[in-house]
Amino acid sequence: MSVPSPATPENGRPAAIRQQRGWLRQGALLLLAMACGMLVANNPFRPSSDNPDATARGYLRFKEILSYVDRDYADSVDTEGLADYAVTQMLEKLDPHSVYIPARDREKTDSFLQSDYDGIGIEFNVFRDTMTVVAPLSSGPAAQAGVQPGDQILSLGGKRVSGAHLSMTQLTQLLRGPRGSSVAMVLRRRHQANPISLSVARSRIANASIDAAYLIDEQTGYIKVSRFASNTYDEFKAVLADLRRQGLTRLVLDLRGNPGGYLDRATRLADEFIAGSRKIVYTDGKGEQYDSQTYAKIAGEFEEGPLVVLVDEGSASAAEVVAGALQDHDRAIIVGRRTFGKGLVQQPISLSDGGELRLTIARYYTPAGRSIQKPYGANYAEYASELSGRSARGELQSADSIRFTKELRFRTDHGRTVYGGGGIMPDVFVPRDSLAHSAYYTKLLSHGVVRAFALFFYQTHKAELEGLRFEQFNATFRISDAQLASLATQAAQDGVKADAAAVRRCAPLLRNQLKAYIARSAYGLMPYYTVLREQDMELQRALHAVSDSTAQLALLGK
């Protein structure tokens, strides 16, 4: 299993990866880290069989120092907090992906890989410290109770949440609870003078990992996989079979921003595209017990036909395994930018205190022998900032800025040259959209201004939108210059400094994003992705590649 970043439940936005931590090399704490988590009466210390004397000495040193700190330190101390800190520092010294997860955080972390959860089924965001419904999930408890996009949630379970400075995680915890239990909600709705009180019964909510699956034209399918969760393979099989029935003969598989997940779900998905019994991935660890080789086993649903895989710097771990296998076997064209480079395998180990150790026990290698893991040293902060370094070096804008080591040159099945050294380099490079990552546009999105503006527009024009089919809306709707100016004014009130020149530069993106958000509220998730496609340069390049059979054969060396 490869461990991705956790996500906020109830369809909130994905949680950020661990914040950078400074290296505080206090000798006592590092010694403390040698055996932290073992001091439990029912879990006696067992020294390593490879180096028992050194392990025992480290354990005894830890025990002695912890005892002195607890007993004699000048101030009162939180020894468990010190232990957690020490463990974190120790594991970061090993590699960037070995982690200790305290018992209190396991449920939140594990929810990322669950195919469902107990809740009321809403997607929400926080605007001006007010919890706002972006969309109730179709047929979910909240939708059935009458919750609407744009509703502002004032209280949950009798607890005031508007203006309470609560985090997304805290708000999510108030929404979740045992199946069958109810949560009382007080809502404020536009054009209604009095608040609305509801009681919504929690139920099991599907936590889909396939964000979108539809036909772009009569032949070309598009499937976006956001992570490899427990039910991802089953979801994928179902949507692929449905698209095949609709006429799919070529496919774009979108793995951009996919941080990984369960390896076996990823390899089973890859097996749907790879014929015969060819290798998909192998792992190499300290001992043979952690060495493994995974091969294609089944007759897949789409072993022939044009295939393009979209990746970017946010594609990691199990997503890289899929991309690497398909590239090595010349089964797909990889389009986008070099992937993250997370090729370390973590084994989850349950601890007696309820926590979990996810310890690196091997490395992933593609069928051609490329290590997916990018280089790392002892400095976690440097590793965490590696993606920023790519931007500074110009790697996200030009393929020529990427330097490959000749010693790490490999060959695909048909003799094409590919390189190791970290991540999967695409066959077709697409520079990152500089406007989409400009300071002004990024601030508008991060402050929630664009989404809030779209929700306000939807509420104001709800009757008109309900009178239009999506096809009519998509063909005729356009955000005006006056509306963009109004957005900029609202943004200035929310702390995003006015910049008329930046608004003009970002105008096409802003119009498209606003239109997509309005479509999300009025028509659902698939229309949202349909609108976004218009300004998605990477997807447009992928569509060109998947439809140009001559170019595809040339790129794949066939």
Query: Which among 90, 79, 80 has a CA at the least distance from the CA of 34?
Result: 90
317 is catalytic: yes
Per the DSSP assignment, residues forming a β-bridge with 464 are none
Query: Which among 113, 378, 111 has a CA at the least distance from the CA of 259?
Result: 113
Backbone angles phi, psi at 169, to 5 degrees: -65, -45
The residue from 98, 155, 312, 342 that is catalytic is: 342
The dihedral through the CA atoms of 109, 112, 114, 120 has a sign that is positive
Between the two ends of the chain, the Cα-to-Cα distance in Å is: 34
Strand, coil or helix: 437 = coil
State the Cα–Cα distance between residues 316 and 293, nearest whole angstrom. Answer: 20
CB proximity list for 454: less than 8 A, separation 6 or greater: 514, 517, 518, 520, 521
Q: Which residues of 438-459 are buried (b: 16+ CB within 10 A; e: fewer)?
A: bebbebbeebbbbbbbbbbbbb
Q: What radius of gyration, in Å, describes the C-alpha atoms of the chain?
A: 25
Query: Which among 232, 244, 246, 152 has a CA at the least distance from the CA of 195?
Result: 152
Per the DSSP assignment, residues forming a β-bridge with 277 are none
- In the chain, the amino acid numbered 198 is L
Strand, coil or helix: 40 = strand
State the Cα–Cα distance between residues 403 and 378, nearest whole angstrom. Answer: 23
Please answer whether residues 459 and 517 qualify as being in contact, where contact means their C-beta atoms are separated by less than 8 angstroms.
Answer: no
The residue from 111, 155, 317, 521 that is catalytic is: 317
State the Cα–Cα distance between residues 214 and 301, nearest whole angstrom. Answer: 16
The residue from 271, 328, 330, 536 that is catalytic is: 328
Please answer whether residues 18 and 52 qualify as being in contact, where contact means their C-beta atoms are separated by less than 8 angstroms.
Answer: no
Please answer whether residues 155 and 44 qualify as being in contact, where contact means their C-beta atoms are separated by less than 8 angstroms.
Answer: no
Question: What residues are labeled active site?
Answer: 317, 328, 342
